[in-house]
Chains A and B, each alone.
Chain A
Amino acid sequence: MNWEAVLPLFIFISLVFIVGIWAGKFVSRSDSFLQEYFLGGRSLGGFILAMTLVTTYGSASSFLSGPGTAYNEGLGWVLLSMTQLATGYFVLMVLGKRFAIVTRKYKAVTIVDFLKERYQSKWVVLLSAASILIFLFSAMSAQWIGGARLVQSLTGIPYFTALCIFSFAVLVYVVVGGFRAVAITDGIQGIIMFLGTLVLLVAVIIAGGGVSQIMSDLAAENPNLLTPFGSDGSLTPAYVSSFWVLVGVGVVALPQIAVRAMSYKNAKALHRGIIISTFVVGFIMLNMHLIGVFGRTVLPGIEIGDTVMPELAQAVLPGWAAGIVLAAPMAAIMTTVNSLLLMVSSTIVKDVYLNYVRPDAGDKTIRRWSMSATALIGIIVVFMSLQPPDLIIWLNLFSMGGLEAAFIWPIILGLYWRRGTKHGAIASMLTGVISYIIFETFYPQPFGMHSVVTSMLLALAAYISGSVLSEKEIIKK
């Protein structure tokens, strides 16, 4: 075991753990448990808002598989990754103040709450809760496995022990601290992700002999690595551009992201949040993927994409610094997992249990239920991570696009278009999810684009026609 690298990693995990527990004291003090536990009492400032948004979005793929693909595809993949710059400003600007005002009027704590008040329909609630549970649960399992594997590969501890350490660290503070603990620890981990990226970038450029040298080495190996079209010229402009929808503007519809757009304190926090998150997301995405490309000349011949970033860090940095840099992907995974865990638990407790099973539950019952539901979901995920069922792996492939296709129109048009009805919303969710799964399975990349684009257009048609048709019917009556 490489103690020099392992020690900083454990210090980092313990630090996050302690801060998370400390943030838990707000939960016991608060007079409205639900608001505090699932939304941090709507009190986030600009910096924490930006960090929790960026870190929830930035996951294992930004730090491990993304740079790994850039290593193989060259600058074309960095170009693709820059479509994510839009998430920094677009989410907070488009949901923006209108979402903040409306959700305060509705007293909504979750995204499903917002949809429930907007459409006044049981079916909208059940459909959206089901999509969140199915897709986010599988997404969470995938990240969880990634986290345990990372601890395992960095420290050499067996997978089972690694899984226990990782789970314990995340679970305890999320269970006792809720949203505020998640947001504050996201703030710390966001700083680690930022610094880790910066240090590794500088070290890789030095190891490669400067940018010009790296570029001429790449050109000598395969000139395609310097083009926008990928190593074998197969990245078409239409395909790369369609990622503006999947990982750019579509992100607005991911429930774990959208819920953050109702958690900030005031307009000033929003303004600062927009600027900081644009900077941080752009910096991390651009440089992390560039590191992958540069790494090709520093450490050629790595076969498994996900190991590019850890191997590079260990090759170009002294042991202790590598430990700090490798805390970055760890942080990326922990910050995504903690938000997903809380999102799933809020869906079960707030959206299903309190709406339909026990609407009259007292504060004490809610408190007990929220915490035990969060803990229980966490434990189920740990067990599933021991031997992940194929269904989870299969569902995870659809998770991001599926949620976007389901929620984008019910959220956006529900917020801005008065004539949208529950029939439109239900039609849109069903059309979005089902068409997306069908396209991905049988006919990927219709019109040369990622299938999420086509599914979103179909879902838009369904929303508008469903709304207009049902409106006429209501008038007839």
Chain B
Amino acid sequence: MERKEWTDKRYKTANREAWLGVGLVIFNFIWWFGFAYGLGNKSPESYNYILGFPAWFFFSCILGFIVMMILTILVVKFFFKDISLEEEE
């Protein structure tokens, strides 16, 4: 019972976009982890503060959110293609 479910030219585009999602999440994780435990792993008395927040928190969570927002917009605008999703027949 072959229904052409595995052969479709549009999968090439779709697969690439899925991998971009995986790439974003890996980048997101590294950013989040690196700043949180890189800057936060010391005694709280020696923390630096940015806009009132401890630096680790500012970079990891607040700036991290802004950076991911910008990256998501860029990825969608420049790499995502507007293709038809309907059945072709």
Complex: chain B residue closest to A412, CB-CB: B18
- Listed in ascending order, the chain B residues whose CB lies under 8 Å from chain A are 1, 3-6, 8, 10-11, 13-15, 17-18, 20-22, 24-25, 28-29, 32-33, 36-37, 40-41, 43-45, 47, 49, 51-54, 56-57, 60-62, 64-65, 68-69, 72-73, 76, 80-87
Per DSSP, are chain B's interface residues mostly helix, strand or loop, or mixed?
Answer: helix
Whether the Cβ atoms of B18 and A93 lie closer than 8 Å is yes
Chain A residue contacts of B40, Cβ below 8 A: 227-229
Chain A residue contacts of B18, Cβ below 8 A: 93-96, 98, 416
Whether the Cβ atoms of B68 and A418 lie closer than 8 Å is no
Residue from the list A78, A97, A418 in contact with B61, Cβ < 8 A = A78
Known: A226-B44, A226-B54, A271-B80. A278 touches B68 (CB 8 A): yes
Interface residues of A in 104-156 (CB under 8 A from B): 104-106, 120
Distance of B5 from chain A, by nearest CB (Å) = 6
Whether the Cβ atoms of A85 and B65 lie closer than 8 Å is yes
Whether the Cβ atoms of B25 and A282 lie closer than 8 Å is no
Distance of A34 from chain B, by nearest CB (Å) = 17
A-B contact count (CB 8 A): 143
Whether the Cβ atoms of A226 and B47 lie closer than 8 Å is yes
Distance of A42 from chain B, by nearest CB (Å) = 9
Chain A residue contacts of B4, Cβ below 8 A: 105
A312 to B77, CA, bound (A): 40
Interface residues of A in 72-90 (CB under 8 A from B): 75, 78-79, 82-83, 85-86, 88-90
Per DSSP, are chain A's interface residues mostly helix, strand or loop, or mixed?
Answer: helix
Chain A residue contacts of B65, Cβ below 8 A: 82, 85, 282-283, 286
Complex: chain B residue closest to A86, CB-CB: B25
Distance of A321 from chain B, by nearest CB (Å) = 24
Chain B residue contacts of A237, Cβ below 8 A: 33, 37
Distance of A191 from chain B, by nearest CB (Å) = 19
Whether the Cβ atoms of A104 and B54 lie closer than 8 Å is no
Whether the Cβ atoms of B82 and A271 lie closer than 8 Å is yes
- Select the stretch in A52-60, A207-215, A340-348, A360-368 that faces chain B: A207-215
A271 to B45, CA, bound (A): 44
